[in-house]
């Protein structure tokens, strides 16, 4: 035997029926605070600090990486630029 019950109601109606609190205002305030902090953090970042975070070895590592990419782009790095 199968019994099936379909209830057609909005989330607000279901929450009120089950006695759950409405946390919409809390969620909205939390999201606004999170957006504000995230925006402030990214606005405070300086490109040089960001580069240092990802490459702690400094500018030497950056220059070495640029040279490597240049070699790849020009067909170097052990590959042949000859096309058959």
Per-residue pLDDT of the chain (84 residues), as tens digits, is 999 999 999 988 999 999 999 999 999 999 999 999 988 887 887 777 777 667 666 667 778 878 888 888 887 655 444 444
Please state, in angstroms and rounded to a whole number, the distance separating the CA atoms of residues 84 and 76. 17
What gap in Å lies between CA 20 and CA 14, rounded to an integer? 9
Whole-model pTM above 0.75?
no
pLDDT of residue 45: 77
Length reported for the chain:
84
């Amino acid at each position: 035997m199968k019994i099936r019950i379909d209830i057609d109601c909005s989330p607000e109606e279901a929450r009120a029926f089950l006695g759950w609190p409405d946390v919409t205002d809390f969620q909205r305030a939390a999201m606004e605070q999170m957006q504000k902090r995230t925006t402030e953090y990214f606005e405070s970042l300086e490109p040089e600090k960001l580069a240092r975070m990802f490459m702690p070895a400094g500018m030497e590592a950056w220059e070495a990486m640029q040279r490597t990419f240049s070699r790849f782009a020009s067909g170097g790095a052990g590959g042949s630029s000859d096309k058959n």
